[in-house]
């Protein structure tokens, strides 16, 4: 009389094992979500290029989301300033912050435009290069402050249009800033080039030599 009961118990155990195996094979377990955090980057001056692990992420101020937890490298680049970089650790669910004050390139140091390694990927972003020079106007007025003519050239070598481009044209003598003006270049299409001439009024020292007056284009602001 006990033998059928033992067979029934054994069949129940086999059925439970088959059910557990079926659930496992069907992938009913929920995969663990990827652990990510965020990185907030600001700089002084603002408008500097941001690179995370050699990948371009726009300009400062900026917040990069969905960054895998772990160690990463942040690099900040701005024309007229020394490149800045730092290793950071991103913690899951938290925001890491960096806020460097960029160091201007000394007047005696050569100013270099950083080159982009082929390994760096830029996707659908504007990339603006600004250069130019100053000169005396055709009809010079010997006054103080004295009007100077500033010629600006902007090129977009990126993959997207830049809707608004602005920069600061700063005049220096011996590393000391003597005057500045804001230059509005407007829209620069991807692969496009624009030029603009503007006047600036500068208070020059009485013994100033034109070769001593240097111009730098800094604090570039790009609205994509």
- Least confident window among 13-22, 23-32, 82-91, 103-112: 23-32
Residues 81 and 103: their CA atoms lie apart, in Å, by 5
Look at residue 30 and tell me if it is in a domain: no
CATH, residue 78 = 2.60.40.10
- pLDDT over threshold 80, residue 32: no
Regarding whether 86 and 170 lie in a shared domain, the answer is no
- pLDDT over threshold 60, residue 34: yes
143-189 pLDDT per residue, tens:
888 888 999 999 998 888 998 999 999 999 988 888 989 999 999 99
- Least confident window among 114-128, 145-159, 200-214: 114-128
Residue 60: predicted pLDDT: 92
Regarding whether 141 and 205 lie in a shared domain, the answer is yes
Could you tell me the pLDDT band of residue 43, with boundaries at 50, 70 and 90?
very high
Say how far residue 33 (Cα) sits from the centre of its chain: 28
SS (H, E, C) 48-111: CEEEECCEEEEECCEEEEEEECEEEEEEEECCCECCEEEEEEECCCCEEEECCECCECCCCCCC
pLDDT above 90 as % of the chain: 47
Look at residue 68 and tell me if it is in a domain: yes
Regarding whether 174 and 93 lie in a shared domain, the answer is no
Last residue of a domain, one of 98, 115, 147: 98
Range of the domain at 143: 128-223
Number of domains the chain is built from: 2
Regarding whether 87 and 143 lie in a shared domain, the answer is no
Rounded to 5 degrees, what are φ and ψ at 74?
A: -105, 130
Q: Closest Cα partner for 224 from 151, 156, 135, 154?
A: 156
Regarding whether 136 and 201 lie in a shared domain, the answer is yes
Regarding whether 143 and 76 lie in a shared domain, the answer is no
Look at residue 26 and tell me if it is in a domain: no
């Amino acid at each position: 009389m006990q033998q059928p009961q033992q067979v029934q118990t054994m069949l129940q155990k086999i059925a439970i094992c088959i059910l557990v195996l079926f659930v496992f094979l069907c992938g009913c377990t929920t995969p663990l979500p990827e652990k990510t955090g965020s990185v907030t980057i600001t700089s002084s001056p603002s408008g500097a290029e941001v690179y995370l692990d050699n990948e371009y992420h726009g300009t400062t101020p900026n917040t990069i989301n969905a960054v895998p937890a772990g160690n990463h490298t942040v690099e900040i680049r701005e024309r007229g300033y020394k490149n800045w970089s730092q290793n950071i650790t991103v913690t899951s669910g938290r925001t890491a912050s960096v806020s460097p004050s960029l160091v201007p390139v000394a007047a005696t140091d050569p100013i270099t435009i950083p080159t982009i390694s082929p390994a760096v990927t830029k996707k659908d972003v504007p990339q603006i290069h600004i250069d130019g020079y100053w000169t005396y106007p055709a009809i010079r007025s010997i006054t103080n402050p004295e009007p100077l003519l500033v010629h600006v050239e902007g090129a977009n070598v990126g993959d997207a249009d830049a809707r608004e481009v602005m920069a600061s044209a700063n005049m220096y003598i011996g590393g000391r800033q003597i005057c500045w003006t804001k230059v509005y270049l407007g829209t620069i299409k991807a692969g496009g080039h624009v030029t603009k001439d503007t006047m600036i009024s500068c208070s020059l020292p009485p013994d100033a030599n034109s070769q001593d007056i240097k111009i730098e284009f800094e604090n570039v602001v790009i609205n994509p």
